[in-house]
Amino acid sequence: MIHKTLETRQVGRRELMAMFGAGVVAAMGVGMTPRDAMADAKSVTDAMMKVVGDNKPATGKIKLDLPQIAENGNTVPIAVEVDSPMSDADHVKALHLWADKNPRPEVASFRFSPASGKAKVSTRVRLSKTQNIVAVAEMSDGKFYMAKSEIKVTIGGCGG
Amino acid sequence: MAKTKARVKVPKSIKKGEVFQVKTLISHKMETGQRKNKKTGKKISRMIINKLVCQYNGKEVFASDWHPAISANPYMAFYVKADASGSLDFTWTDDEGKSVKKSAKITVAG
Amino acid sequence: MGKFHLGSLLAAGAILAVGFSTQANAEGKHGMYANGEIRSGYTYLTPQSKAIQNDDFQNPGMIWVDDGATLYEAVDGKAGKSCKACHGKAEVAMKGVATTYPKYDEDTKKIKNIEAQVNRCRTKHMQAKPWKYESGQLLAMTVFIRHQSRGMPMNVSVDGPAVPFFQKGEKFYKQRRGALDMACSNCHIDNAGKNARANLLSQGQTNGFPTYRLKWQKVGSTHRRFRGCNKQVRATPYKYASDEYMNLELYVAWRGRGLPVETPAVRN
């Protein structure tokens, strides 16, 4: 029984790693070694595993609104919205954000309730380089959804 | 900027059942713990606001955990469904457990 | 005859109006953020950064406005006065003030900016200690005062006694300096609108200062920006509140004549 649980977890991890495949390839393109990229992907994967457990997140439902190119990595405006009626029977319980190439991948987590009315958040984040923003939503029926979007970060701001 | 200052914006009057946006802004350096002091070379220890909770007439309607990736002088906007007149109470908490509170009145018509 | 005269005047007015609107259309996409060829730094921002400035509840610079409002009413110094005790309501007393600063000062026979005038008030009238340049308090007060003129066109005086200082400011602006041997004008006149690596060069206008700069993650003064530019061309920067930067601030303010005060603006 214990053995089976462990195995399921490993499959889950492999599947998640597969989802980050595109990010790894992109990172190689901009001069990252595959090993660094793998390490980064793994740390987001670890963070995500803690949230989703044995579940495999589906794509869809989440709209990530962020600029294609950040004017300055210190302050990147971002909005995330999860499509949901936000009723007692069917609502978004939580939403998590990660940035896969930051020194630490965690960005923020949000808790909603039917009293929120709408599962949408706008904020501003720090991004150290070009990378993926990953969002995972946890629904009241126990399902998970995820979305991923790449954002280019140039080292901006002339002068001191 | 000795004292942390918070700003919140909610609509003055709203209909029951309507979903409205809440905007919040608070002054804070959000020291990541990754920076080094240029003169001494020592790491500057992490000091951020790690939590924002919003209660509506005493009941939590929105909560969030923040990490150092949240920008300095954090801005956050979210939504609340109008239920009854009363107050929205905001609490920001930092790494030392100190908190800043702010309240806004809500008038629900109809 | 009189009627005819009036008619032709109206017609001339209409032609003038057409002339103006054509010109306005040529620059029209920048709206109030441009005066002919003179363009605010706002016009060089990405739509996302513009959105931060457009909304006072997203603009972090508004925190400094709030702080300044508190300081304006706070009693400080041996005289037991606040700014408000002498000046009255800031919305009235400080409206339009920023459009004329920096200006020639009779007492010192030099150019003074708002920061210098605030500290003059503090030491002379309030008998309080001057605030350190670039301190949170001096920035907040300067932001608050300039904010009272938001939307009003910059209109500094460069005639009369200001002439020699204006000329020094212009000379500084066009003087090559530093290991890179570059003048302010090389970037901000010759190459404005072009990229220096990933940076889009602006005209270097100061109408939005002190500004919330994304790079700084806080509000900073024109003199901090001047120091940054000077360092960027590998020149030794001048001190905050130095005569050199006061003269330069006057010249740059004149370059931005007609642009609206935007303090606290948001810049990259």
The per-residue DSSP string of B40-89 comes to: T-PBPPPB-EEEEEEEETTEEEEEEEE-TTBPSS-EEEEEEE--SSEEEE
Residue C199 has its nearest CB partner, among A67, A124, A156, at A156
Q: Which of C83, C184, C187, C229 is catalytic?
A: C229
CB atoms A121 and B64 under 8 Å: yes
* Residues of chain A positioned with their CB less than 8 A from the CB of C211: none
Distance CA C98, CA C92 (A): 13
Query: Which has more confidence, C121 or A2?
Result: C121
CB atoms C66 and B71 under 8 Å: no
Is C242 inside any structural domain?
yes
Residue A68's domain is classified under what CATH number?
Answer: 2.60.40.2470
Residue closest to C252 by CA, chosen among C172, C195, C196, C180: C172
| Same-domain check for residues C79 and C132 | yes
pLDDT at A54: 85
Is the pLDDT score of C24 beyond 50? no
Structure tokens at C205: 């206008």
| Same-domain check for residues C169 and C263 | yes
Alpha-carbon distance B15 to nearest alpha carbon in chain A (angstroms)? 13
Best of A66, A116, A121, A136 to disrupt the B interface by mutation (most B CBs within 10 Å)?
A: A116
Structure tokens at C230: 């000077």
Give per-residue pLDDT as tens, A12-68: 445 555 554 444 433 333 334 444 444 455 688 888 888 888 888 999 999 999 999
Residue A74 has its nearest CB partner, among C199, C214, C225, at C214
Domain spans of chain B, in order of start: 6-109
Is the pLDDT score of A10 beyond 90? no
| Same-domain check for residues C79 and C211 | no
| Same-domain check for residues C101 and C226 | no
Determine the average pLDDT of the residues in B17-32.
96
CB atoms B25 and C218 under 8 Å: no
Count how many domains chain C has.
2
CB atoms C60 and B75 under 8 Å: yes
CB atoms A125 and B68 under 8 Å: no
Q: In Å, what is the CA distance from A153 to each residue of A67, A106, A127, B70?
A: 10, 18, 7, 16
Structure tokens at C221: 């003064």
Q: In Å, what is the CA distance from C151 to each residue of C18, C76, C154?
A: 25, 31, 9
Is A83 inside any structural domain?
yes
Is A70 inside any structural domain?
yes
Give per-residue pLDDT as tens, A78-107: 999 999 999 999 999 999 999 999 999 999
pLDDT above 70 covers a percentage of chain B that reads 98
Under the banding of pLDDT at 50, 70 and 90, the label for residue C23 is: very low
Give per-residue pLDDT as tens, C146-177: 999 999 999 999 999 999 999 999 999 999 99
Is C33 inside any structural domain?
no
* Residues of chain B positioned with their CB less than 8 A from the CB of C136: 1-2
Count how many domains chain A has.
1
Under the banding of pLDDT at 50, 70 and 90, the label for residue A160 is: low
Is A158 inside any structural domain?
no
Last residue of a domain, one of C118, C147, C176: C147
Per residue, the 3-state secondary structure of chain C, as one string, reads CHHHHHHHHHHHHHHHHHHHHHHHHHHHHHHHHEECCEECHHHHCCHHHHHHHHCCCCCCCHHHHHHHHHHHCCCECCCCECHHHHHCCHHHHCCCHHHHCCEEECCCCEEECHHHHHHHHHHHHCCCCCCCCCCHHHHHHHHHHHHCCECCECCCCCCHHHHHHHHHHHHHHHCCECCCCECHHHHHCCCCCCEECCEECCCCCCCCCCEEECCCCEEECHHHHHHHHHHHCCCCCCCCCCHHHHHHHHHHHHHCCCCEECCCCEEC
Is C164 inside any structural domain?
yes
* Residues of chain B positioned with their CB less than 8 A from the CB of A119: 79
pLDDT at A27: 37
- DSSP-derived letter for residue A53 is T
Is C226 inside any structural domain?
yes
CB atoms B7 and C67 under 8 Å: no
| Same-domain check for residues C111 and C191 | no
Residue-range definition of the domain harbouring residue A117: 2-153
Under the banding of pLDDT at 50, 70 and 90, the label for residue A154 is: confident
* Residues of chain C positioned with their CB less than 8 A from the CB of B27: 60, 63
Q: Are C22 and C16 in contact (CB under 8 A)?
A: no
Last residue of a domain, one of C147, C180, C205: C147
Under the banding of pLDDT at 50, 70 and 90, the label for residue C201 is: very high
User: Looking at the complex, does the CB of residue B35 fall below 8 Å from at least one CB of chain C?
Assistant: no
CB atoms C46 and A71 under 8 Å: yes
Any idea which of A23-32, A108-117, B77-86 has the lowest mean pLDDT? A23-32
* Residue C187 appears among annotated catalytic residues: no
Distance CA C38, CA C33 (A): 9
Residue C120's domain is classified under what CATH number?
Answer: 1.10.760.10
* Residues of chain C positioned with their CB less than 8 A from the CB of A74: 214-215, 217
Tokens 């212009």 correspond to C170
User: Looking at the complex, does the CB of residue B69 fall below 8 Å from at least one CB of chain A?
Assistant: yes
CB atoms C232 and A156 under 8 Å: no
| Same-domain check for residues C171 and C76 | no
Pairing type for strands A76-82 and A119-125 reads antiparallel
Tokens 């730094």 correspond to C41
| Same-domain check for residues C163 and C261 | yes
Under the banding of pLDDT at 50, 70 and 90, the label for residue C10 is: very low
* Residues of chain C positioned with their CB less than 8 A from the CB of A152: none
Alpha-carbon distance C219 to nearest alpha carbon in chain B (angstroms)? 11
**Subunits close to C (at least 3 CB pairs below 8 A):** A, B
Q: In Å, what is the CA distance from C47 to each residue of C20, C42, C53?
A: 27, 10, 10
**Subunits close to A (at least 3 CB pairs below 8 A):** B, C
| Same-domain check for residues C75 and C98 | yes
User: Looking at the complex, does the CB of residue A19 fall below 8 Å from at least one CB of chain B?
Assistant: no
Exposed/middle/buried for A25, CB within 10 Å: 0-12, 13-18, 19+? Answer: exposed
Residue closest to C64 by CA, chosen among C171, C219, C260: C219
| Same-domain check for residues C131 and C234 | no
CB atoms C49 and A69 under 8 Å: no
**Which residue in chain C has the smallest CA separation from B21?**
C57
Query: Which has more confidence, C145 or C26?
Result: C145
User: Looking at the complex, does the CB of residue C62 fall below 8 Å from at least one CB of chain B?
Assistant: yes
CB contacts < 8 A, B to C, total: 36
Is the pLDDT score of A118 beyond 70? yes
Last residue of a domain, one of C95, C126, C147: C147
* Residues of chain B positioned with their CB less than 8 A from the CB of C217: 29, 71-73
| Same-domain check for residues C46 and C84 | no
| Same-domain check for residues C169 and C54 | yes
Exposed/middle/buried for A5, CB within 10 Å: 0-12, 13-18, 19+? Answer: exposed
Residue-range definition of the domain harbouring residue C129: 62-147
Is A147 inside any structural domain?
yes
| Same-domain check for residues C197 and C258 | yes
Task: Tell me the torsion sign for CA atoms B79, B83, B87, B91.
Answer: negative
Highest CATH level, class, for B6-109: mainly beta
